[in-house]
Amino acid sequence: MGDWRFDPEMWPDPAAMTAELAEMGVKLMVSIWPTVNARSENFAEMQARGYLAGSERGVLALRDFSDNVPSGKLYLHFYDATNPDARQFVWDRVKENYFDNGVRIWWLDADEPEIRPVDPENVHYHLGNGLEVGNLYPMLHAKGFYDGMRAAGETEVVSLSRSAWAGSQRFGAAVWSGDIPSTFASLRRQIPAGLNIGLSGIPWWTTDIGGFHDGHIEDPSFRELIVRWFQYGVFCPLFRLHGVRRPGGDGTGAPNEVWSFGDEVYAILQEILVLRERMRPYVMAQMAKASEAGLPPMRPLFVDFPDDPACGDITDAFMFGPDLLVAPVVWEGARSRDVYLPAGAAWTDIWTGAIHAGGQTITADAPLDRIPLYLRDGASPPIKA
């Protein structure tokens, strides 16, 4: 933590590696934390220049975490993202060690920053006390990478960020909801979370499909959760599977690929992956609108139907672009759900072809391999083969 480079023993030729991956159609993303180990090669210089966040009282280290030098738990510092010179210093290391070796995409983890114990008033930044300015940290952290990429000639900048603040979208921050539990209750919370961040001006949103913590790959309940979460995730702006799975006694966790949850689940997830790929032109069109006008691809029903007062009460369904109403199944064991169809449009059931008038609530069938989806006024995005 704080070297911001590939371990030369593990990765002796990163430029060749990224080039080989590129030939395979893979773009490498590197996870970069804002933490700084006191034994890292940059710590002494950063400390001398005042590039580290400090504390108002007590020790200067702000959290404990595991690193490999020394192996195991130790106390870590954070670089001060509110200091423009510190941002430039970090970017210079990142450019030399990652960008110049072909990496163009960044995973900005733990950038709240994740301080333990949570005591923002005890953190001192270049801009002031943490209680007053700490929420700016993830936005300014993303800005450092954005500014560096633009200075290097890049025009398309996306960073996957665990946190954000008002204005983070200006710096290409795509936000996910963090290390959430692998439960149906957690899945239910993701819908309003995604809708609200879109309304806050940040259109690029995603979650850890299946949740991050404690999903057991052989548990029937978790296998059902993975299916339902995939069905929701395919209609989020970004679509990604991530998490720590059980069992896995060697400390690395269990497998987490789409084929890891049994044949029945794999067959369903395959179809969902194909669906997302078929939808790529539609998704990219919505992402372009988000970039140009700020309209989030995933949005509450009232955005598209402001004249229907009932839409203001719907928190468990949403529009994905202007043409598609998505009603995720978020309760374990459910094989149907009520869906409100906004007034002012006719709605076609993707699966049956049935047409329903708007302004009513219907009960939609939802077997395990199906998420209720409705097309607006005969629209035809490429949903079905």
| Residue 270 within a domain | yes
Q: Is 365 known to be catalytic?
A: no
Within 8 A by CB and 6+ apart from 334, the residues are 366
| Residue 302 within a domain | yes
Q: Which residues of 165-174 are buried (b: 16+ CB within 10 A; e: fewer)?
A: beebbebbbb
Tell me the pLDDT tens digit for each residue of 201-211: 999 999 999 99
The SS3 assignment for 216 reads strand
Question: 175: domain range?
Answer: 14-293
Instruction: Check residue 22 and give its pLDDT.
Output: 97
Instruction: Check residue 59 and give its pLDDT.
Output: 83
Q: In what order do the strands lie in the sheet with 355-357?
A: 298-299, 318-320, 324-326, 373-376, 346-349, 355-357
Which of 3, 119, 147, 179 is the catalytic position? 179
Task: Give the pLDDT band of residue 250 (cuts 50, 70, 90).
Answer: low
Return the residue matching tokens 């993975």.
226
Long-range contacts of 9-12 (CB under 8 A, 24+ apart): none
Which of 109, 208, 308, 323 is the catalytic position? 109
pLDDT over 90 for what percent of the chain? 91
Instruction: Check residue 369 and give its pLDDT.
Output: 97
| Residue 360 within a domain | yes
Both structure tokens of 146: 């954005």
Q: Which residues of 106-133 are buried (b: 16+ CB within 10 A; e: fewer)?
A: bbbbbbbbbbeeeebebbbbbbeebeeb
333 and 213, same domain (yes or no): no
| Residue 1 within a domain | no
Task: For residues 96 and 63, give the distance between their C-alpha atoms in angstroms, rounded to a whole number.
Answer: 27
144 and 199, same domain (yes or no): yes
Both structure tokens of 20: 């080989």
75 and 168, same domain (yes or no): yes
Count of alpha carbons within 13 angstroms of residue 242, beta-carbon side: 15
Instruction: Check residue 71 and give its pLDDT.
Output: 85
Q: Is 23 known to be catalytic?
A: no
Instruction: Check residue 58 and give its pLDDT.
Output: 85
Tell me the pLDDT tens digit for each residue of 214-248: 899 999 999 999 999 999 999 999 999 999 999 86
Q: Residue 176: which CATH number?
A: 3.20.20.80
Which one of 234, 258, 293 terminates a domain?
293
Instruction: Determine contact, residues 308/344, Cβ cutoff 8 Å.
Output: yes
Q: Which is nearest to 140 in space by CA: 181, 173, 107?
A: 173
Within 8 A by CB and 6+ apart from 8, the residues are none
The SS3 assignment for 155 reads coil
Task: For residues 329 and 299, give the distance between their C-alpha atoms in angstroms, rounded to a whole number.
Answer: 17
Instruction: Check residue 384 and give its pLDDT.
Output: 62
43 and 74, same domain (yes or no): yes
Within 8 A by CB and 6+ apart from 191, the residues are 232, 315, 316, 317, 318, 328, 330
Tell me the pLDDT tens digit for each residue of 138-176: 999 999 999 999 999 999 999 999 999 999 999 999 999
| Residue 348 within a domain | yes
Instruction: Check residue 383 and give its pLDDT.
Output: 77
Instruction: Check residue 11 and give its pLDDT.
Output: 95
Instruction: Determine contact, residues 353/336, Cβ cutoff 8 Å.
Output: no
Instruction: Determine contact, residues 142/162, Cβ cutoff 8 Å.
Output: no
72 and 101, same domain (yes or no): yes
Task: For residues 198 and 80, give the distance between their C-alpha atoms in angstroms, rounded to a whole number.
Answer: 28
Give the burial class of 317: count Cβ atoms within 10 A of its Cβ; 0-12 exposed, 13-18 middle, 19 or more buried.
Answer: buried
| Residue 209 within a domain | yes
DSSP secondary structure string, 67-116?
EETTEEEEEEEEB-TTSHHHHHHHHHHHHHHTGGGT--EEEE-STTT--S
Task: Give the pLDDT band of residue 385 (cuts 50, 70, 90).
Answer: low
327 and 358, same domain (yes or no): yes
The SS3 assignment for 200 reads coil
Which of 80, 111, 112, 308 is the catalytic position? 112
Give the burial class of 57: count Cβ atoms within 10 A of its Cβ; 0-12 exposed, 13-18 middle, 19 or more buried.
Answer: exposed
Instruction: Check residue 68 and give its pLDDT.
Output: 86
307 and 259, same domain (yes or no): no
29 and 96, same domain (yes or no): yes
84 and 103, same domain (yes or no): yes
30 and 163, same domain (yes or no): yes
Give the burial class of 47: count Cβ atoms within 10 A of its Cβ; 0-12 exposed, 13-18 middle, 19 or more buried.
Answer: middle
How many domains does the structure of the chain reveal? 2
Q: Is 224 known to be catalytic?
A: no
Q: Average the pLDDT over 7-24 and give the result.
A: 97
pTM (2 decimals)?
Answer: 0.94
Question: Please, what is the Cα angle at 137 between 132 and 140, to 5 degrees?
Answer: 120
pLDDT averaged over every residue in the chain: 95
169 and 71, same domain (yes or no): yes
| Residue 5 within a domain | no
Tell me the pLDDT tens digit for each residue of 32-78: 999 999 999 999 999 999 999 999 998 888 888 988 888 888 999 99
Q: Which is nearest to 359 in space by CA: 371, 375, 347, 369?
A: 347
Q: Residue 360: which CATH number?
A: 2.60.40.1180
235 and 363, same domain (yes or no): no
Which one of 258, 293, 328 terminates a domain?
293
Which one of 293, 326, 354 terminates a domain?
293
pLDDT at 363 over 90: yes
| Residue 136 within a domain | yes
